[in-house]
Amino acid sequence: MKKILLILLVCAFALGLIAFLLARGGKNTAGAQGCPSGFDKSSVIFNALTICATPDVSQEKLTHAANVAAEWLDNDGDGIADEPRLIETLMANNPVVMMTGERGNLLQQGATMTQFGDRILQDLSAAETNPGGNERDASQEEIHHIIMNAGWIQLFPDIFSDQASQNSKLYQAWQLANTNQLYVYNDPTCNDSCKVTEFVYLATAAYFGDVRDLQTDEIRLYTRDELQQSIPAVVEIFESADYNYPTNHWPTGSYNFSENVTFHNVQ
């Protein structure tokens, strides 16, 4: 009986402590809309892509990343998604960007990743997300990756697939660049499909002339003209009239149509 009373007293104390902490403004770790527990705020872009952010991600950086996503999807900046079929594909796949304060900490926590079920995921470090344009900004790359993997590849596999078995136009362009040493990616953890995803991002950076992403020697083409001269198939992919790939401007985190970007648990 004494043990039971002791347990009840401990439970009562714990509940009282929790109530006290909440009353004093303790952090709520319940998941924001569209996110599991541990992600206290989120943004949804065009009702198609969700960014789930942990408590150590600032509102400024979450907002910046969300605006970058909106720019990739509405690249001409008219308030309407450039490729409606891409939005439909993303909505069907329900992809998530997991935004954390430190790079890689979620990838080391399998339990956290399983909370998202079978949704297509991409990690993004707030430490490498840099609003202002003075440094390289990882949000541009990581969000491009998830839009490619959950969107373009699914929508037009003959054009964008990263699988050798599909032998897409993009895959062939990567092979040409790799064979001719125009693109070299030596990360042993990155297989061929991973390299295709990295390649199309850097080719897009070269198309726009984004110098910060072109400072490494992974890709040896730095302008649209150089792409056209050495790998014209890439420019053809980007400029095809069969769909609307982003060709207007490089995302900077400035987006004017707030109705396309919603936030949850953000002041």
Q: What is the pLDDT of residues 122-132, one digit of tens each?
A: 999 999 999 98
| 177/145 same-domain check | no
33 and 118 share one domain: yes
Are residues 111 and 60 located together in one domain of the fold? Answer: yes
Burial 23-58 (b: 16+ CB within 10 A, else e): eeeeeeeebbebbbebbbbbbbbbebbbbbbbeebe
User: What is the spatial distance between Cα 53 and Cα 198, in angstroms, rounded to a whole number?
Assistant: 24
Instruction: Give the range of the structural domain holding residue 127, as residue numbers without chain letter.
Output: 26-156+252-266
Is 41 part of any domain? yes
Q: How many domains does the chain have?
A: 2
The pLDDT of residue 229 is above 50: yes
65: nearest Cα among 120, 2, 146, 8:
146
Query: How confident is the model at residue 130, as a pLDDT?
Result: 94
List, edge to edge, every strand of the sheet that includes 41-45.
Answer: 121-125, 96-100, 49-53, 41-45, 261-264
99 shares a domain with 63: yes
Q: Is residue 21 part of a domain?
A: no
Three-state SS at 42: strand
Return the pLDDT at 22: 36
Total Cβ atoms within 10 A of residue 91: 15
Pair (231, 144) in one structural domain: no
pLDDT at 6 over 80: no
Q: Could you tell me which residue, 102 or 101, shows the higher pLDDT?
A: 101
Q: Is residue 59 part of a domain?
A: yes
C-alpha torsion sign, points 156, 160, 162, 166: positive
Task: Convert the pLDDT of each residue in 24-58 to its tens digit.
Answer: 334 446 788 889 988 999 999 999 999 999 999 99
Residues 68 and 138 in one domain: yes
**Band of residue 103 on the pLDDT scale cut at 50, 70, 90:** low
